[in-house]
Amino acid sequence: MDKDEKNPQGQQGINTKVLKQGLCTGCCACVNLCPSMEYYKDKTILVHDCNMDKGRCYTYCPRTPTNLEALRHELFNSGDIIWEIGAFKGLYMTRATNESIRASAQHGGTVTALIQLALAQGIIDEAILADQDDQFLPAAQIITDKDEVFDKARSKFVVSPTMSAFNRISRTDTGKIGVVATPCQALALAKMKVNSVPEDKMRMEKLGLVLGLFCGWALDWCKLKNLLKEKIGEIQIKGIDIPPSKHACMEVYTANGTIEIPIEAVNTCVRDNCNYCFDMTCEFADISVGAARSPAGWDVDKGWNQVIVRTALGDKLLALAREKGVLEFKAVPDKNIEKLKKASAKKKRTCLIKLAEKTGNRDDLIYIDPQDPMVRHIKKLRG
């Protein structure tokens, strides 16, 4: 590989331009590509120096310079692009018809139901899901049996090392792989798919499905663990949820009932790198899923999901879920798409402001091209 001392595009570039800049998302796209990078307790770390001037770690990282417009053009129908939320074939309100899934999953259980369906129908042969231990330390689990998906339900709120698991199993004699991804992980997968170096082309042919998760931010594992210990003590925790912003709290479901933690305390646990994320709705997925929002209010909405279909594969899977009776659908409120666009645009605008503050130059957005048409559109919008 060519040497480029002024613009290192290997581990040195990752270290100086991503890790030391506080931009690392913890997606682990650089882990298990080579032995120089590792995941340890919610952090991506350098275990020893690598002297390569160019490398896959830099090429695939979601926080190195990225031609987002080229990725959109390659992966989606250009006529489907809505500048605030990416490729869009439809917005739906869904929930799992299986009451057991709904009872144990986050909100409507749509992601659980879709992964089970994709495995059962042979759309994918394996799925990579987020998991965590009893101390909330995240982990990535590889699932081949649809019945095992049930045990991994519920949101984790801490970034799972999902990409490290994908990098590992995609090198093996496996079939199609489905990934449940956060926006940064889905972007890394998109960069891998479109910008594959020769040794990765066959590996990326195994990527069969990306189910994306809406994500406003993720929490730092160590800070979250300490906050829960302070507020909850040793009481067994069964689950966590974040209601809409007007509730201003985190709900922690324990053996002794629900305990609310003020959102101000939770905000101290948010990973700083999340301020530099341009994507709320996981734009580089086949289907993106988030918590429902409607005039009915949180008591109703927490039992449903809102779903954006982005690709022909996503359209096919959702239609199959309807045909097989796996998901229940209801009408989407008239103003939901506009509210979603507004919320997403707000996150994008915040990202652009924060990146410009970091560089001191509104035209230096680090990993985002200021001339990207989506960026130009967001800059023109009023708050």
Domain ranges of the chain: 69-217+280-343, 221-267
Residues ≥6 apart with Cβ < 8 Å to 266: 219, 227, 242, 249, 250
Closest by Cα among 191, 236, 242 to 213: 242
Mean pLDDT, 10 residues at a time, the chain of 383 residues: 60 91 94 89 88 90 96 97 98 96 89 96 96 83 85 78 96 96 98 93 96 95 94 88 90 92 96 96 98 92 96 98 98 96 97 96 95 96 71
pLDDT of res. 51: 81
The backbone region for 220, taken as left when phi is positive above 0, alpha when psi lies in -120 to 50, beta otherwise, is beta
pLDDT of res. 89: 98
8 Å CB contact between 105 and 96 = yes
**What distance in Å separates the CA atoms of residue 284 and residue 183, rounded to the nearest whole number?**
7
Q: Tell me whether the CATH fold assigned to 69-217+280-343 matches the one assigned to 221-267.
A: no
pLDDT of res. 6: 60
pLDDT of res. 383: 57
**What distance in Å separates the CA atoms of residue 282 and residue 179, rounded to the nearest whole number?**
13
Which helix H or strand E contains 165, and what residues bound it?
A: helix 162-169
* Block residue for tokens 């590889």: 142
Q: Which two tokens stand for residue 147?
A: 């019945």
pLDDT of res. 341: 97
Which helix H or strand E contains 223, and what residues bound it?
A: helix 221-232
**What distance in Å separates the CA atoms of residue 164 and residue 184, rounded to the nearest whole number?**
13
Which CA distances in Å does 94 have to 30, 40, 72, 104, 313? 34, 36, 26, 16, 18
pLDDT of res. 152: 67
Identity at 179, one-letter amino acid code:
V
Which one of 3.40.640, 3.30.70, 3.30.300, 3.40.50 gives the CATH number of domain 69-217+280-343? 3.40.640
Domain 221-267 has CATH 1.10.3470: no
pLDDT of res. 4: 45
Helix, strand or coil for residue 85? coil
8 Å CB contact between 160 and 154 = no
Closest by Cα among 298, 286, 300 to 330: 300
- Is 0.85 surpassed by the pTM of this model? yes
Q: How many residues does the chain have?
A: 383
**What distance in Å separates the CA atoms of residue 131 and residue 138, rounded to the nearest whole number?**
6
